[in-house]
Amino acid sequence: MAFLRTTSAGDTGPVIYGRDFVLRIPTASDYLRWAELRARSREFLTPWEPAWSRDELGRAAFRQRLRHYHKELRDETGYAFFMYQNCAGSADGALIGGVTLSNVRRGVTLSCSVGYWVGQPFANQGHMTRAMRSLAPFVFSTLGLHRLEAACMKSNRASVRVLEKCGFKYEGFARKFLKINGVWQDHLLYARLDED
């Protein structure tokens, strides 16, 4: 079960508490843990992500990433979360990975897309499944959206398992949908509706 603390003026954003983790908006103080986990997990992550730039893990690139996250948060078009182990009610545990809601659309669509990553030391332990399950009430109740969309490469069996365990339904196939690690890749398309 997850508990949500919503934002207020001047706040850093929503926080979602799970039984043993916290999802919260990244801040500048996350840089060292983020850079270390991403560096340790580079070979594990690069087959599933856009090509990394030469300065991907640099402090300036992280600050630029934060500016982008916070602009989307202000504009209510995206929500980036870092997932931390929750140790005795504190979010001072290890950084596990991240989840990003992007392309939040209002009007007749009421939908967004979700992407996620997990550091190699935490892979295949159910962390992302718990995070995605806890994110659903935020998407459907707090944001009032109707549809949560995801795409993953067919070869990414771990990601397919996460989506299917979390109630996402397979909806189709998109040819050369995203440029992953420098190559346009076909993707499986999934979605979960608020009534699912």
What is the pTM for the complete model shown?
A: 0.90
On the 0-12 / 13-18 / 19+ scale of CB atoms within 10 A, 66 is middle
**Sign, CA torsion 34/29/26/121:** positive
Looking at the chain, how many residues does it have? 196
The mean pLDDT of 63-69, rounded to a whole number, is 96
**pLDDT for the residue 5:** 46
Copy the structure tokens of residue 36: 């270390």
**pLDDT tens, position by position, 157-186:** 999 999 999 999 999 999 999 999 999 999
Structural domain total, the chain: 1
User: Mean pLDDT for the chain?
Assistant: 91
**pLDDT for the residue 4:** 46
The mean pLDDT of 61-71, rounded to a whole number, is 96
**pLDDT for the residue 8:** 36
**pLDDT for the residue 10:** 40
Buried b (16+ CB within 10 A) or exposed e, 94-115: ebbbbbbbeebeeeeebbbbbb
- Which domain, by its residues, includes 118? 3-193
The mean pLDDT of 133-143, rounded to a whole number, is 96
Q: Which residue has the tokens 């996620």?
A: 116
Task: Map residue 166 onto helix, strand or coil.
Answer: coil
CATH of residue 179's domain is 3.40.630.30
